[in-house]
Amino acid sequence: MAPLMRIPLEGGGCVLVEAPAAVEGPVKAGRIGDAIHEATGTLQQALEPVTEAAGAALDRLRKARPDDVTVEFGVDLAFAAGAVITRSQAGCHRKVTVSWKSPA
């Protein structure tokens, strides 16, 4: 089982996310509680850089006045770095879809 990270929410409560393994190789067996790491900040704080990046991309793309814009990021929650934009399954860091509808 991959290690888990408990991330507090600003409104209270927390969310458990699968975290990247801190060490490779054999790991000492133990209780599930022993495998949960505590995050140093909230989920909102960890996602702030990704939110800013998505907002900047949307602001720039909206200048072309499309009917629809979709920006997708792969996000990895790392213990020390917070949220990190990672490769998606398509092998790229982000996916952007912009479309215009034909005039009626």
- What pTM was computed for the model? 0.51
* pLDDT, tens only, 8-44: 777 787 777 766 655 455 555 555 555 566 667 777 8
Residues in the chain: 104
For the stretch 49-83, pLDDT in tens is 777 777 888 888 888 888 988 877 776 665 554 55
Q: Which sequence spans correspond to the domains of the chain? A: 4-99
Contact, 44 vs 9, CB < 8 A? yes
Average pLDDT over residues 41-48: 77
